[in-house]
Amino acid sequence: MKNITLLKKVNLFILILVGITVLKQLTVSYFIDIQKFSYSLHLLTKTVYNIILALISFYMIKANGLTDLAGLSKVKTKKIGLVLIGGLYLIVLNILFADDISNYTITNIGILLIYCVSIGFAEELSIRGFLQSSLINYFKNPKKAIVIASLIFGVLHLIKFSKGIYGELSQVLFATFIGVMFGTLLIITKRIYPLIIAHALIDFFAGIDSLGNDFTASGITPTSLTNAIASVLLVSPCLFFGLYLMKKHIKKVKYLH
């Protein structure tokens, strides 16, 4: 009975997660339809949705006694260097493949930074904090929980569908690989805040080359198969790093509340 109740909460949360993600995308689409292309308007609007998701996730974690599993308890952070390795790799990738920055202003940098921090809180608290922790309690198997939560994280990236089939599939794999690494790091470090910071910085450097660029009604811009494969291969070390850490550090862990 306890597992059935837990599963219902997980399913409800996934519906909330999908609902907020869809509403966010519909709002952006509406702005484009009425020709509101402002960079700041779009990012700040999405920031509001991210904050709502983060607050709901934080409440669900607290209400369901998942504070320890979600890395929100006041314990000493362990093996923080592992987060630095994974985070720096992705940051360097983003910098290497960034285009020229055209609208370099303090205001635009501030807006992008606020937006990226909101992403870090929203996605880490929802996917790693609540969802993964709940699945650990349900399956009594941290490895299975990490993989399933990461797959859900990856599939959520299909909602926008703006890069064609190859681009979307690469996005799913991209997010899943990072999810495996971050999910494993949460259990090892026992703290979610380093992951939130790393996530925010990764997204910041991923978005730095579009700094200040207004959004447009560009529709679907297909990614070529070659570029999609290259993207997956470049991010695949995150998967291998996560699996290595999982095998080395996560045994039959007693991570149940």
CB-count burial class (<10 Å; 0-12, 13-18, 19+) for 25:
middle
Q: How many helices (H) and strands (E) does the chain have?
A: 9, 0
Q: What is the per-residue pLDDT across 151-205, written as a single tens digit (0 to 9) for each? A: 999 999 887 666 778 888 999 999 999 999 999 999 999 999 999 999 999 999 9
Overall size of the chain counted in residues: 257
Enter the pTM of the model.
0.93
Q: What is the per-residue pLDDT across 158-173, written as a single tens digit (0 to 9) for each? A: 876 667 788 889 999 9
Q: What is the per-residue pLDDT across 20-38, written as a single tens digit (0 to 9) for each? A: 999 999 999 899 989 999 9
Dist. CA 83–CA 70, nearest whole Å: 16
* Residue 71: how many other CB atoms lie within 10 Å: 26
How confident is the prediction for the chain on average, in pLDDT? 91
